[in-house]
Copies of this chain bind each other. A is one copy, B any other.
């Protein structure tokens, strides 16, 4: 059963008990994955730092830190966990299982980190690093330094698609000002998450981007 997971991650464990522990939530039994998560969090940080350092030789430390924070936060890990269908492989206690624990972003993100830690122990730094880089490849490629604002609508769309949620609705609320200096007010509605934000701009498109950016901020905070 876990073969499919190993294949998706691109690593077959020599020590299957490490894989087992990484998939075991504390609600299920001991040994559970929290120590591995501690380890995995730290290798993830290192590998992403190294990638950002090499890929963006012109970026100052502050920008690198911000990019790293984006990539290692729960949200990004959760997206990757979904792409691996991690939820199917979890070992959860009965209570957690019933309350939908196998879908919980925090649980899925933690398990993915634990898997990174387990691979580090199983096969060493370089192999674990390669697994992480492969998984993060698209996210790393998508980074355009200083241009994050531009793609707010795209990023929001991907965020929602990754969660199989309906796409946002952009609604013109009104216009302001004379026709040569018109301002558009657009609402971005995500009904499934009960989020509505607003953006104002010189074009519909600009206003939509701002509204989408605000929606992303709300999603990230929550």
List the interface of chain A (C-beta within 8 A of B). 34-35, 37-39, 41-43, 45-46, 48-50, 53, 59-61, 64-65, 68, 117, 120, 125-126, 129
Contact = CB atoms under 8 A, between A and B. Distances in A.
Contacts of A120: 50
A61 B42 contact: no
Contacts of A45: 42, 45-46
Nearest to A59: B35
Given A42-B46, A43-B46, A45-B46, A53 B65 contact: no
Given A125-B125, A126-B125, A50 B42 contact: yes
B65 A38 contact: yes
Contact of A39 (B37, B50, B126): B50
A45 B117 CA distance: 13
Contacts of A126: 125
A175 B148 CA distance: 56
Contacts of A60: 34-35
Contacts of A39: 49-50, 53
Contacts of A38: 49, 53, 61, 64-65
Contacts of A64: 35, 38
B49 A37 contact: no
Contact of A42 (B35, B49, B59): B49
A34 B42 CA distance: 20
A61 B34 contact: yes
A34 B58 CA distance: 12
A59 B39 CA distance: 13
25 contacts: A34-B60, A34-B61, A35-B53, A35-B59, A37-B61, A38-B49, A38-B53, A38-B61, A38-B64, A38-B65, A39-B49, A39-B50, A39-B53, A42-B45, A42-B46, A42-B49, A42-B50, A42-B68, A43-B49, A46-B46, A50-B120, A53-B117, A125-B125, A125-B126, A125-B129
